Amino acid sequence: MKKEIFDIKVPYEKAGLPSDGLNPTLTAYTIDVSPEIGKKSRPAVIVCPGGGYEFVSDREADPIALRFAAFGIHAFVLRYSVVNKPFPTALLEAASALAFVRKNAEQWDINPNKIFICGFSAGGHLAASLATLWDRDFVKNPLGFADEHKPNGAILAYPVIVSGEYAHEGSIRNIIGENPSKEKLELVSLEKQVSPKTPPVFIWHAADDGCVPVENTLFFTTALSKNKIPFESHIYPQGGHGISLCDDTTSGAECQYNEVCAEWFAKAIRFIKSL
């Protein structure tokens, strides 16, 4: 396996966004060709860690990518811009990252039709934003893209979705500010942005999540169902928030161990292979 770090170039000025101090990076974990295994066209996953759009969680970054790589999937960690970086700064970075991976798919032996976006908590909001808003002019036009930035599927872990009741207020405030317009609140409430152009979704959440209420996932899956988007959803009775891989790999406290919730990863692998 090869590890490389790439700078993601985004024309922020074309979107009317400030660019000072922004340096999003993409850490690539790509699988070498082995004579014993042979050359394969493999799926790829871009991982968006959580952190409330305030920081980028290490527990939901490289350990997730390495686990995907262990299952024969090329993995990339997007360290996107956070802390009062106005919407759609991070979204343009995610779109640019996915297009970058697709552009280099042949060099890395990636199947260009199996590139997924995976996000946790606020990173789940970012991943879901790309899945639902990829075709909007305010995303495509500044980047000069057609559809090369569209994910083939999304994997969402306890995602921030809504901006109204049941919102994770810190995440929403960090991307649209203290006194946003009704239009901006509506735009970042992603259950309202699902359309027939949204790709298939795998999503999981704990019913007792006291940080990002499970209604975020319930509202999103209802919207997916109404738009006839294929999806797989798992609601676990207990687990809280921010539990990542739910095992020794990422657990920093007793409450982050959960053998039942840990099953999500194997289910996500099957989801990727099923498409």
Rounded to whole angstroms, the Cα distance separating 69 from 133 reads 28
Which residue bears the tokens 């735009």? Answer: 187
Quick check: 119 and 97 in contact, CB under 8 A? Answer: no
75: β partners: 29, 45
Who's near 198: CB < 8 A, 6+ residues apart? 131, 132, 224, 227, 229
Q: List the beta strands (DSSP E) in the chain.
A: 2-7, 25-30, 42-48, 74-79, 110-120, 153-157, 201-206, 231-236
pLDDT for position 37: 78
Alpha carbon of residue 92 to chain centroid: 13
| 145-157 per-residue burial string, b: 16 or more CB within 10 A, e: under 16 | beebbbbbbbbbb
- Residue 182 structure tokens: 């009704």
Rounded to whole angstroms, the Cα distance separating 120 from 24 reads 18
pLDDT for position 196: 98
Q: Which stretches of the chain drop beneath a pLDDT of 50? A: none
Rounded to whole angstroms, the Cα distance separating 76 from 42 reads 13
Cα separations in angstroms, 177 against 91, 140, 141: 16, 23, 24
pLDDT for position 172: 97
pLDDT in tens, 60-118: 999 999 999 999 999 999 999 998 899 999 999 999 999 999 999 999 999 999 999 99
Q: Domain 2-274 maps to which CATH number in 3.40.50.10490, 3.40.50.1950, 3.90.1150.10, 3.40.50.1820?
A: 3.40.50.1820
For the whole model, what pTM was predicted?
A: 0.97
Residue ranges per structural domain of the chain: 2-274
pLDDT for position 88: 98
